[in-house]
Amino acid sequence: MNCEAKHVLQCAALYAWIGIVIFITLYFDTTEVEIDPIQEYGYFLTIFLYIWKCTQLLVLPQCIFHLIGFTCFNQFKDKVLLRAHPKVAPFVCFRVVTRGLYPKLVKDNLALNIDTCKRAGIVNYCFEVVTDNSIELHTGSLVREIVVPKSFQSKNGALFKARALQYCLEDGVNRLRDSDYVVHLDEETLLTHDSVYGILNFADEGKHQFGQGVITYANGNIVNWLTTLSDCYRVADDCGKQHAQLSVLHKPIFGWKGSYVVTRYGAERTITWDHGPEGSIAEDTYFAILGMQAGYSFDFVEGEMLEKSPFTTWDFLQQRKRWLEGLLLTVHSKKIKLIYKLPMAMVVYSWALAPLIIAQLFVMPFFPMPKVVWLDIIFASLLAINLYMNVFGVVRSFTQKYRQNIFMLLLSCVGACLTIPYTLVIQVASVFLLIFGPKKEFFIVKKESTPIMNVLTV
């Protein structure tokens, strides 16, 4: 089956599934409520119940962009075609930021990524490994190790990864020109042939200052199936709203990830990473929103990169807690105008209010309300899209892995559906962990079997 047929089949499955869920919602729910809620519950409680119910609509904007991404863009393209000539393409610096706690991982992945670049035929490039602790790399024309001094303090007090990235922009440290491009990677990120081509095409086109592509997590030996299947939702998120917002609006209105970030160096240096503690927990999204506010243009980068999901549920939970805290700091920042953070704020608050939204399943039956058909249709559509994304993410992640074993692919889809309660528990638990746990930590997930340290604090 070619990629066009896969795309048509995917679109048909998506809209058929939405239709099925709407049909079940409208025609199988035979409960009739013939009460006047105001008379039954009073004005205050009635208004509260309707507002509470409508909190589900916070995800409506991003679900619209999911539909655009899944419908308008083929997510099953076989190969990325190189349109740029490698010898005349702009210089690309692949920048890996690490604490230096996993030197073997960094060295192994560096070797793999350099090999991928060589096989892809890229000529003008280098790798920079930015680390708090020296990992004694063999440096040369292709590799540079930048050790961030413990004494370094940025002007505005950037912390953690943002501090390291800001150090790279300092005079005397930076060696790049404004026209060069930087590709930001995490220490576990692996390039693919397609992602290298996508980056070269993006840089050679030169229309946009920032870009990002898809990352998948079901690669190699899977350490934790629960976290991997749960992370498949993130793959669908990249293919849906991320692809749509960057390709249609050319703006990251819902934020973006901290890896597979492509920047034109001159624009990155203008925005900087030095935004104090509030811009240091989710430094990626904070940077992107500031870039959008400054008028820079963004685009989607073709080709996927590879990472692994957290190895343990505790790491998975701590990772989500850090993201939620950082995103809340971003949407509450006075440096960012409301118009630029409103769409993302809706998404973040849908997460922060997850305990209350899920609690509706248990509380609302005790407070029956008259049906509002158009509202039920919207709620059913939102539910269908979010359920679909779990399966889509698995298909997008595992198709290559199980291309000769359809049974395992179907089993993985079933597994993703069974993992939904696990994901919901993690989402809710991350909210409570943020409320009652320590603040402004930068939790580092386990990347190897024997970590040295995994928490940084202010």
For residue range 105-131, what is the model confidence (pLDDT) as tens digits? 999 999 999 999 999 999 999 999 999
pLDDT of residue 453: 36
Query: 92-310 adopts what CATH topology?
Result: Spore Coat Polysaccharide Biosynthesis Protein SpsA; Chain A (3.90.550)
The three-state DSSP-derived secondary structure of 205-251 is HCCCCEEEEEEECECCCCCCHHHHHHHHHHHHHHHHHHHHHHHHHCC
pLDDT for 333 beyond 90: yes
Rounded to an integer, the average pLDDT of 388-410 is: 89
Listed by start position, the domains of the chain span 3-73+345-443, 92-310
For residue range 145-163, what is the model confidence (pLDDT) as tens digits? 999 999 999 999 999 999 9
Q: Tell me if 330 sits within 8 A of 293, measured CB to CB.
A: no
Query: What are the DSSP calls for 80-130, one per residue?
Result: PPP-S-TTTSPPEEEEEEE-SS-HHHHHHHHHHHHHHHHHHT--SEEEEEE
pLDDT of residue 308: 92
Q: Which residues contact 216 (CB under 8 A, 6 or more apart)?
A: 235, 304, 305, 306, 307, 396, 397
Rounded to an integer, the average pLDDT of 398-415 is: 87
pLDDT of residue 450: 43
- On average, the pLDDT of the chain sits at 93
DSSP state of 148: P
Rounded to an integer, the average pLDDT of 269-288 is: 97
pLDDT for 31 beyond 90: no
Q: Which residues contact 32 (CB under 8 A, 6 or more apart)?
A: none
pLDDT of residue 138: 85
Dihedral of CA atoms 83, 85, 91, 94 in degrees, nearest 10, equals 60
Higher pLDDT, 399 or 289: 289
3 state DSSP class of 36: coil
For residue range 209-255, what is the model confidence (pLDDT) as tens digits? 999 999 999 988 899 999 999 999 999 999 999 999 999 999 999 99
